Amino acid sequence: MEIQLVQATAGDVMLLHDVQTKAFQPLLEKYLDYETNPANEPINRLFEKIQYSSFFKIVLDHKVVGGIRVVRRNNSYWISPIFILPEFQGKGIAQQAIGQVEERFTNFSTWELQTILQEKGNCYLYEKMGYERTDFEEVVNDKMTLIGYKKKKQ
């Protein structure tokens, strides 16, 4: 099962907003993080991200099943966000997408991201891919804590 990353355009904003909302809705319902969860992101904010950063559709068998955004910040690349439709999660798609962006972007050797401490599957994925926990930790509410990960590529 091979995925493709396709550069998102302004014309993709409605589709990506729908996929992002569906992907993050279960987490919103679980953690009630209304201020930070991308399921609550206004469509105009997603439009800006598509216009002013490297935002890709994750395509499997000609179907958009997710998205991934790469941002340059302080001599690092940041993945923020990555999302996969719930029915396609757990199939190695996120791992392929991260691997492909890491191969595509080579100006910096450091990659960073944040995830939810309580989502052990996400933490396992990033650790399996060589990311290490950083000191960053932010309690969002009594159900959820954001943590940081960093990877140095050779």
Q: Tell me the per-residue pLDDT of 47-88, one tens digit each, with 9 for 90 and over.
A: 999 999 999 999 999 999 999 999 999 899 999 999 999 999
pLDDT of residue 148: 98
pTM of the model: 0.95
Domains of the chain with CATH codes: 4-109 (3.40.630.30)
User: Mean pLDDT across the stretch 29-41?
Assistant: 95
- Nearest-angstrom CA–CA distance, 15 and 29: 21
pLDDT of residue 153: 83
Residue 98 has pLDDT above 90, yes or no: yes
pLDDT of residue 154: 74
Residue 33 has pLDDT above 80, yes or no: yes
One-letter amino acid at 115 equals: T
Kindly indicate the confidence band of residue 45, based on its pLDDT and cuts at 50, 70 and 90: very high
**CA–CA distance from 5 to each of 60, 102, 146 (Å)?**
9, 12, 26
Residue 32 has pLDDT above 80, yes or no: yes
* CA-CA-CA-CA torsion sign (116, 121, 125, 64): negative
Q: Tell me the per-residue pLDDT of 124-139, one tens digit each, with 9 for 90 and over.
A: 999 999 999 999 999 9
pLDDT of residue 118: 97
